[in-house]
Chains A and B, each alone.
Chain A
Amino acid sequence: MKLLNQSIKHLSISILAIVTIWAIVFYFNMLNEIKSSIDEGLENYKRLIIQNAQQDSTILTKTYFDESFFAIQQINKQKALSVKDDYSDTVLYMQDADDTEPEAEPVRMLTTAFELNGKYYQLKVANSMVEEDDLVKELLYDIIWLYLSLILGIIFINNFVLKKLWKPFYDFLSQLKKYHLGKTEDLPKTKTKTKEFNDLQNVVTNLLAHTSQIYEHQKQFIENASHELQTPLAIATNKLELLIENGKLQNNQAQTIAEVMGIIERLVRLNKSLLLLTKIENKQFLNNQDVLINTVVKKNSSNLEEIAAFKKVKISVLETANLSTKMDPSLANVIVSNLLRNAIFHNIPNGNVHIEITNDTLKISNTGNNLKLDKNSIFNRFYKPNNASKGTGLGLAIVKAISDTYGFRVSYSYIDTLHCFLIKFPAN
């Protein structure tokens, strides 16, 4: 989730809580305020009624609430003395413009008692109150509006202000994403006055400088190791070649030399394969361009045509689409060549190799011995199911390393006596 959205999420949740609590407090405060103001009115009303009753005794006979919102009832002295001014919420039946018949409406009622000419009366004065459910409803609408405008305001501010504040950060991040160790020369850089971003930039710059230094050292080391190993191997091979050419050798001596040469050959291949693997894993192949896999397959299968014919293996290619991907062309060649060679060499006489190319997969399946290979370890280095194989045991490990580098998915399956290798390329 983006920082911007996260802050909006947190803000909207906390604002919702704050606004809700505020609304409840506000509601009760307002209700109290209304009541106390009505109570003051009722008190005043009471005084007026008692004053008027002194002049107009008919008022004392008004025992029901009708048009004038008060009722007087004579009571005995004892009861009257026990009465204190009491304000209460109750209901009276009234009818107003929007009612078809009288209905209970909330009122505030003052119950009190007074003495007039030696007689005691109970007085009830009522005043219509605000209807609480209406108040709640109104308040709720207002709160929702308030809440929505706050959120919209925050989104607006976030988008314009925070986006501007975070711009250096996103700038920096996008440069960092494009940064490729050993390939990008300039370190990511952005101009900002924000201290945190400057700190981040300094830390990242130091880290990258340190890492690329190590990377350079490692590259240097690999190259040196290669040099150190390749030269003695070259000397050994060449010396033996000269020895065979020059010497009058006996057959068994020549055989021994041939065997030693064979061993040196294996060392050479092993060294080359290991170097290739290291290079791939260090991502030193970065000459990426659009490669048409169809062409690579065709080139390799025509290259291996004669040897396939010699092994009595038939190669068929089915292209349902053009498969193009961005990668180093020499690595594309290594992948296809390794898989195709495996398919031809680990085959049976009169067997088949079938290659299928779709717009995002390359499938190479072949007949072979009826032993299912272990699909978990088949891509491991030096995995050899039967030790008879004179290969380096690195061919498939190289295929896997290249696939991992470019995000291809390579898998092995054994279906209907066919060994099948499938590479799934990322969709374009």
Chain B
Amino acid sequence: MKILVIEDEPQLLSNVKESLEKEKFLVETASDYHEAIDKLFIYEYDCILLDIMLPNGNGLQILSQLKAEEKSENVIIISAKDSLDDKLKGLELGADDYLTKPFHLAELNARVKAVLRRQKLNGKNTLQIANATLDLRERTFIVNNQKISLNRKEFDILNYFSLNLNRLITKSALAEHVWGDHSDNADNFDFVYYQIKNLRKKLQSANADIEIESVYGIGYKLIKK
């Protein structure tokens, strides 16, 4: 899987590159408009991460060019602008998702994988990790052909973990992903802990071959046993 990251801030670029490479993606980068255009029209990519504000041009221009050339890459806009206008314009021009800076690496990971998965699965929407299966359409969780009942939030959490297999998800990334942008309360962390505890119990009693591991008390990681 090849991913092109178009971003003018070198430090952010290297963070994203490093994180995506951990997922075994082949990552290429472009740090201005011209470089991006050059790479886009020479090579094929599975997914493009696109910053809107770029030196020598604008990310939205790149999108319209892609559209004009009928290139059907998956595009995720990464922008510091949380502006509805840009969001709508971007999605209209064929972007698949819109992520606002600052973001957690786990969130970026999840978005990239979700986009790729949507493309690959062609409607069939299940995810297999070891002996566990997540059915995203039916929102069911099956271990060893046994349906495990999860509440809505537990399912969301497990899905988020499955998109970040073996990767750290911090508590705040988890809280933000599951409860939205405005969660600014310490109580959220207790609640995260409580949900994780329940989820672990359910995984254990179903004899699932996956488990949620604590990372220094900062966050969690889903691993295969």
Residues of B within 8 A of A223 (CB): 81, 83
In terms of DSSP, what is the predominant structure of the interface of chain B? mixed
State whether A242 and B219 are in contact (beta carbons under 8 Å apart), knowing that A230-B101, A307-B191 are contacts in the complex: no
Residues of A within 8 A of B167 (CB): 245
Chain A, residues 232-258, CB within 8 Å of chain B (1/0): the string is 011101110110110001010011011
Tell me, yes or no, whether A294 is within 8 Å of chain B by CB: no
Tell me, yes or no, whether B11 is within 8 Å of chain A by CB: yes
B144 smallest CB distance to A (angstroms)? 27
| One of B9, B151, B187 near A311 (C-beta < 8 A) | B187
Residues of B in contact with A, size category: 35 or more
Pair A242/B15 contact, Cβ less than 8 Å: yes
Residues of B within 8 A of A171 (CB): none
Chain B, residues 72-99, CB within 8 Å of chain A (1/0): the string is 0000000011111000000000000000
Pair B182/A238 contact, Cβ less than 8 Å: no
| One of A261, A269, A287 near B218 (C-beta < 8 A) | A261
Pair B186/A390 contact, Cβ less than 8 Å: yes
Pair B185/A345 contact, Cβ less than 8 Å: yes
Tell me, yes or no, whether B172 is within 8 Å of chain A by CB: yes
Residues of B within 8 A of A334 (CB): 182
Pair B81/A306 contact, Cβ less than 8 Å: no
Residues of B within 8 A of A266 (CB): 184
Interface centre among B9, B15, B16, B100 (most CB of A within 10 A): B15
* Alpha-carbon gap, A186 to B162, bound state (A): 52
| One of B11, B185, B186, B194 near A310 (C-beta < 8 A) | B194
Residues of B within 8 A of A245 (CB): 22, 167-168, 215
B177 smallest CB distance to A (angstroms)? 13
Interface centre among A245, A249, A395 (most CB of B within 10 A): A245
In terms of DSSP, what is the predominant structure of the interface of chain A? helix
Residues of A within 8 A of B102 (CB): 230-231, 233-234, 237-238, 268
Chain B, residues 25-46, CB within 8 Å of chain A (1/0): the string is 0000000000000000000000
B25 smallest CB distance to A (angstroms)? 15
B103 smallest CB distance to A (angstroms)? 6
* Alpha-carbon gap, A262 to B187, bound state (A): 14
* Alpha-carbon gap, A330 to B194, bound state (A): 29
Pair A337/B182 contact, Cβ less than 8 Å: yes
* Alpha-carbon gap, A311 to B81, bound state (A): 35
State whether A255 and B217 are in contact (beta carbons under 8 Å apart), knowing that A239-B15, A272-B82, A391-B185 are contacts in the complex: yes
* Alpha-carbon gap, A403 to B119, bound state (A): 43
Pair B217/A254 contact, Cβ less than 8 Å: yes
Tell me, yes or no, whether A36 is within 8 Å of chain B by CB: no
Tell me, yes or no, whether A227 is within 8 Å of chain B by CB: yes
Tell me, yes or no, whether A341 is within 8 Å of chain B by CB: yes
| One of A261, A268, A307, A338 near B188 (C-beta < 8 A) | A307
Pair A238/B153 contact, Cβ less than 8 Å: no
Residues of B within 8 A of A404 (CB): none
| One of B80, B181, B187 near A231 (C-beta < 8 A) | B80
State whether A310 and B19 are in contact (beta carbons under 8 Å apart), knowing that A231-B9, A390-B186 are contacts in the complex: no
Tell me, yes or no, whether B115 is within 8 Å of chain A by CB: no
State whether A235 and B12 are in contact (beta carbons under 8 Å apart), knowing that A226-B82, A345-B187, A391-B185 are contacts in the complex: yes
Pair B151/A306 contact, Cβ less than 8 Å: yes
Closest to B78 in A: A234
* Alpha-carbon gap, A341 to B187, bound state (A): 11
* Alpha-carbon gap, A244 to B220, bound state (A): 11
Pair A275/B179 contact, Cβ less than 8 Å: no
Closest to A233 in B: B102
B211 smallest CB distance to A (angstroms)? 18
Pair B217/A241 contact, Cβ less than 8 Å: no
Pair A235/B11 contact, Cβ less than 8 Å: yes
Closest to A269 in B: B184
Chain A, residues 157-174, CB within 8 Å of chain B (1/0): the string is 000000000000000000
| One of B11, B80, B184 near A227 (C-beta < 8 A) | B80
Q: List 21 A-B contacts (CB under 8 A).
A: A230-B100, A231-B9, A233-B101, A233-B102, A235-B11, A238-B104, A241-B19, A244-B218, A249-B216, A251-B216, A257-B216, A257-B218, A258-B217, A266-B184, A306-B152, A307-B179, A338-B182, A341-B183, A341-B185, A390-B184, A391-B185
Q: 4 closest Cβ contacts across the A-B interface?
A: A234-B102, A254-B216, A227-B80, A238-B15
Q: Which residues of A contact B (CB under 8 A)?
A: 223, 226-227, 230-231, 233-235, 237-239, 241-242, 244-245, 249, 251, 254-255, 257-258, 261-262, 265-266, 268-269, 272-273, 275, 287, 303-304, 306-307, 310-311, 330, 334, 337-338, 341, 345, 390-392, 395
Q: Which residues of B contact A (CB under 8 A)?
A: 9, 11-12, 15-16, 18-19, 22, 53, 80-84, 100-106, 151-153, 167-168, 170, 172, 179-188, 190-191, 194-195, 215-219
